Structure 1
Amino acid sequence: MVQIEIKLDPVPGADGANGVLTSKHSAVLHRHLDHEFLVLDQAKGNYLLLEDGRKIIDASGGAAVGSIGWGNERVALAVAKQVLAAPYCATIFFTTIPQEELAKELIAGTGGDMARAYIVNSGSEAMEAALKLARQYYLEIGQPQRSRFISRERSYHGITLGALAVGGHKARRAKFEPLLMDNVSQVSPCFAFRGKAAGESDTDYVHRLAVELDDEFQRVGPETVCAFVAEPVVGAALGCATAVAGYFKAVKAICEKHGALLILDEVMCGMGRTGTLHAWQQEGVVPDIQTIGKALSGGYQAVAGVLVNQRVVGALEKGTSAFVHGHTYQGHPAGCAAALEVQRIIREEGLLENVRQMGDLLEKRLRAQLAGHPNVGDIRGRGLFWGVELVADKASMTPFPDADHVCMEICELGLDEKYSILVYPGGGSVDGIRGDHIILAPAFNIKPDEIETIAATVARLISDYFAAKGQ
């Protein structure tokens, strides 16, 4: 194997003494303009190396992005080879071998349940494409009256305007409500921790949610609905909330009853994160359209995609034979090369089995060390995708005020040298604004000793944070 060693120059304006870069000294329009950013120097394995010498264990893969760890030379070489061969492809005229092979790999991973793949650069782009494809499907089959979508409250499907419109995260939508399309309505999520009534069985809960969805179809006019949009395991908005058994079979049946499509958003929970390549493979349903991203390329390139079943593809083939959508950088050769190599590594090294085994271990350790904590309301997830919901009062499950910024403060404390761990913050699980949780989503090749370190450190981090608050 060719050895690759890269040493980056120091970041201009960074304070070498404490390894931070104040946003006001930066030319970047950062997410926060008054924040001091730690400077990332290198990433190796499951660790982040900061410019000040700190070594941080990456327990969340960034935003559930890292799937094979960092610094994999096999992927880096595949990308470098493609960049030297053909760094860009004008997809209106050409295709490339990496794009074609990646699509075949992705379709094979569905067992043939999906028929085609559309490769883009972000989860938000993927969702925009999915919504437009659903609309065009109905134009192709002669049902132009269908233009509405039904989604779920406290969901998140992306930050661009179309994706934000079908999302139900109030805090992220608030400033942009006047710009969002008004042909979307929402129903309750399948979130047993806060949505299931006392004494209600799973069967009764599923029935209640199914009736609510069916009623919504009837309210807006079932003949006007393009699709129902949902995350099989809700990531950032609900902190790794899984559906109860039978829920997705019920909603699929309702979609079929009314002739609507089922769009499943697996940008955060998919591509192996929950223990199977696709989260829907554990739900007993097949979507009509699916979005993927994050773990797809493991962070080595900006890649996402849309998978489409034969029902939808067939309509285009029999109709106009053209999807009226496109991006300059869709099917980017280097991105496809990275994603292809990452997916091959996951398959060849049997990493999905490791996701299941290490996920079981992580769950056991988290429950053993945190379930009894007075500020831990719930521990939930699947595979290597786990959320810990934090509450002000465990008896009533009362959330902290949004202004307390509990989840972000815990994540920032985790970066202190005393803990040296990266976990991911999330909020809005109660009503779209209140409700704090942190997410753990380590790489698929994580080892048992690293799982032990993550669980123990997170338990210590949470205990120390609330102890300092006098709780």
Structure 2
Amino acid sequence: MPFVDTAISQPAVEESSVPVPAPAAKPKSAVFYRQLRLDFPAIVRGEGSYLVLDDGRRILDASGGAAVACIGHSDARVGEAIMSQMKSASYCATLLYTSTVCEELCRLLVDSTNGQMARAYIVCSGSEAMEAALKLARQYFLEKTEPEPQRTRFIARQQSYHGNTLGALAVGGHKSRRLPFEPIMSTNVSHVSPCYAYRGKKADESDAQYVARLVDELDAEFQRLGPETVCAFVAEPVVGGALGAVPSLPGYFKAIQAVCRKYGALFICDEVMCGMGRTGTLHAWQQEEGVLPDIQTYGKCLGGGYQPIAGVLASHEIVDTMSKGSGAFVTGHTYQGHPVSCAAALAVQRIVAEENLLANVSELGPVLGELLTKRLGDHPYVGDIRGRGFFWGIELVEDKATARPFPPKANVAMEIVDLGLKGADYSVALYPGNGTADGVSGDHIILAPMFNASRDEIETIVDRVARLVEDYFAAKCA
């Protein structure tokens, strides 16, 4: 008897009559995402420099989110510090009380400046910190023995970003981020050119001549506004999201600080993205000879992403003036000085110090830059590679010879970052930026590894990023 396939010998059934269960519909999200048309993958856990997603992908986090994570994800020591504080005192109403952990963190911050700054103020985000810095600068001039109430203006720089609240956004000089909200923003801010040698420095200029030209521009802006009306100049030592890790040239900050001093204005140093060790020293201004800000903001790497936290450091002159005046800072937030956030940040900073991670950043930072330049420096669509410490940017251009940027509609930076996440050959997370060239056009990607990354890990990051950039343009421009 021949073999009979019983599955085939069964009575025929019309395909249309067989009920096929429909795939379960993904529940509609209740989250008001930044991008409402995208489905975001969910993180299920972090493991050091890696993030594991809900679909099983294992992503090498080469940017720490927005240059936030700095000691790796899911460090048990920080978790224990958070839980210990939760069990002790989870909230502190700072109008009435202080907390031991906030006192310890602020002492650490002040001491980290070698006592050059006097007091620290703790809030929940970089935008809050910038708002506080602006208000503090204004109040300082009202509290002086001879008050200067006419000082109501601020000078900042084009292609800068200082936060997303209306006051901080007004200070920022990123055109595309400002545009929708300009009708409701303060108009007491003007902008001068950034120290952006790749696009701003003329072919026949030396570094010193370029710096002198920028300083003259700032001086002229003081004169145009009326020097007595300017409250402060605001700038990032290494420009982050708006330009893509652009450090200033030697002597620039010392010279612009001198202009501020000349006219009695303050210098506000925004280190929310580039500070707390990201560039190799705990404070980026510590690498600028002869520079000491009057007010400094800090944030992301303070708590390494373990809790929302940022803040402000104020100079002795600021604090002494206010102590002799009203004795109060006229601002406040419900969650300022939050004990659990302070506990997380204190644990992160102790790990950074105990494991000597800043030395690792200083040692391997140049290696990261050299490897990126070796792999991508000659790429036809890479215009510039710049940075400091573990904070590096790659500017992408449509024409290398003329530095012509890609138009905004090309969406180059975001497409590269998206491919890095979705492409199994890369599985690397980067931070995208646009408006690099003029606030509207231009693209860059930022690399910001963990402070405890090894040389092998740095080499892995560079290899994945280089292949990602090469493959993206090979497909796009084929």
**Same-fold call, TM cutoff 0.5:** yes
Q: Give the one of 191, 203, 214 matched to 1:186.
A: 191
Q: What secondary structure sits across from 1:271 in the alignment?
A: coil
- Once the two structures are superposed, the pairs formed by residues 233-382 of structure 1 within 5 Å of their partners are 233-284=238-289, 285-382=291-388
Report deviation, 1:119.
0.1
Task: State the partner residue of 1:91.
Answer: 94
Cα distance in 2 for residues equivalent to 1:212 and 1:380 = 24
2:240 matched to 1:212?
A: no
2:425 matched to 1:418?
A: yes
Report deviation, 1:357.
1.4
The number of aligned residues is 452
- Once the two structures are superposed, the pairs formed by residues 80-229 of structure 1 within 5 Å of their partners are 80-141=83-144, 142-229=147-234
Q: What secondary structure sits across from 1:356 in the alignment?
A: helix
Report deviation, 1:250.
0.5
Letter in 2 for 1:46: S
Q: Give the one of 371, 396, 402 matched to 1:396.
A: 402
Cα distance in 2 for residues equivalent to 1:290 and 1:262 = 9
Larger radius of gyration, structure 1 or 2?
Answer: 2
Cα distance in 2 for residues equivalent to 1:233 and 1:318 = 34
Cα distance in 1 for residues equivalent to 2:477 and 2:226 = 53
What's the CA shift string for 1:267-297, capped at 9, x where partnerless? 0000000001111001120100000000000
Task: State the partner residue of 1:385.
Answer: 391
What's the CA shift string for 1:323-372, capped at 9, x where partnerless? 00000000000000001111111111100000011212111110110001
Q: What secondary structure sits across from 2:74 in the alignment?
A: coil
Letter in 2 for 1:355: V
Cα distance in 1 for residues equivalent to 2:102 and 2:477 = 55
Structure 1 segments, 4+ long, off by >2 Å, are none
Task: State the partner residue of 2:4.
Answer: none
What's the CA shift string for 1:9-42, capped at 9, x where partnerless? xxxxxxxx99xx97x8100100011101111110
Q: What secondary structure sits across from 2:365 in the alignment?
A: helix
Can you give the 5+ residue segments of structure 2 that lack an aligned partner in the other structure? 1-22
Cα distance in 2 for residues equivalent to 1:394 and 1:38 = 35
Q: What secondary structure sits across from 1:331 in the alignment?
A: coil
Q: What secondary structure sits across from 1:25 in the alignment?
A: coil
Report deviation, 1:79.
0.5
Cα distance in 1 for residues equivalent to 2:67 and 2:196 = 20
Cα distance in 2 for residues equivalent to 1:470 and 1:140 = 60
What's the CA shift string for 1:371-418, capped at 9, x where partnerless? 010000000000000000000010111100101100000000000222
Q: What secondary structure sits across from 1:146 in the alignment?
A: coil
Can you give the 5+ residue segments of structure 1 that lack an aligned partner in the other structure? 1-16
Report deviation, 1:126.
0.1
Report deviation, 1:134.
0.2
Cα distance in 1 for residues equivalent to 2:204 and 2:451 = 37
Cα distance in 2 for residues equivalent to 1:111 and 1:25 = 52
What's the CA shift string for 1:106-127, capped at 9, x where partnerless? 0111111111000000000000
Cα distance in 1 for residues equivalent to 2:378 and 2:212 = 32
Cα distance in 1 for residues equivalent to 2:425 and 2:39 = 19
Letter in 2 for 1:335: S
Report deviation, 1:470.
2.1
Letter in 1 for 2:310: A
Letter in 2 for 1:445: N
Letter in 2 for 1:454: I
TM-score by length of 2: 0.93
Cα distance in 1 for residues equivalent to 2:138 and 2:468 = 47
Q: What secondary structure sits across from 2:362 in the alignment?
A: helix
> What is the RMSD computed on CA atoms of the aligned residues?
1.2
Q: What secondary structure sits across from 1:200 in the alignment?
A: coil
